[in-house]
């Protein structure tokens, strides 16, 4: 006798928003990871390097979000959040992203010492392009 499996649970509105709505269909990257670069953007805008810190890799960023929860209820409503993100992600593009992150993190002490805002802009533009597939034109 075959085992009867319960029907798959439909995605909640929160899960659809947290995963599907933030996936770029062209790059197959979850765009929330651009938030890892907020300190860089802020340092550029304020011309103040103390805001800088190392950037996590794509996997590290989403591992921290493994416990995604609904802010309204405080409940963890997305099971296997990290696995669901990674299953949809373009691995080759993320290898490029992680290489950029590694280079940024290695360059960070020099960038801070020299207050090299041009280097920050270049790293930020490259990260944006990898994540979104579009060029970032906000810098002169």
Q: pLDDT tens-digit profile of 14-62? A: 555 677 788 898 999 999 999 999 999 999 989 888 879 999 999 999 8
Residue 29 and residue 97 in contact, taking contact as beta carbons nearer than 8 Å: yes
Domain carrying residue 83: 13-132
Residue 49 in any domain: the answer is yes
Q: Is residue 63 part of a domain?
A: yes
Q: Is residue 137 part of a domain?
A: no
- Of 13-22, 54-63, 83-92, 93-102, the poorest mean pLDDT is in 13-22
- Distance, in Å, from the CA atom of 32 to the CA atom of 58, rounded to the nearest integer, reads 10
CA distances from 131 to 11, 47, 112 (A): 25, 24, 24
In a domain? residue 4: no
The label of the residue with tokens 């591992």 reads: 63
Q: Examine residue 82 and state whether it is found in any structural domain, yes or no.
A: yes
Question: Strand 23-24 and strand 29-30: pairing?
Answer: antiparallel
Q: Is residue 42 part of a domain?
A: yes
Residue 22 counted as domain residue: yes
pTM: predicted TM-score of the whole model, two decimal places: 0.81
> Residue 138: inside a domain, yes or no?
no
The number of folded domains in the chain is 1
């Amino acid at each position: 006798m075959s085992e009867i499996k319960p029907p798959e649970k439909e995605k909640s509105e929160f899960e659809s928003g947290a995963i599907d709505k933030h996936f770029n269909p062209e790059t197959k990257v979850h765009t929330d990871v651009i938030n890892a670069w907020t300190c860089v953007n802020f340092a550029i805008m304020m011309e103040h390097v103390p805001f800088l810190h190392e950037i996590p890799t794509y996997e590290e960023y989403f591992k921290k979000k493994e416990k995604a929860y609904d802010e309204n209820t405080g409940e963890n409503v997305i099971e296997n959040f990290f696995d669901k993100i990674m299953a949809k992600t373009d691995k080759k593009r993320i290898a490029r992203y992680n290489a950029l992150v590694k280079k940024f993190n290695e360059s960070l002490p020099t960038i801070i010492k020299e207050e090299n805002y041009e280097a920050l802009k270049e790293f930020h533009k490259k990260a944006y392009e990898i994540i979104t597939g579009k060029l970032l034109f906000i810098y002169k």
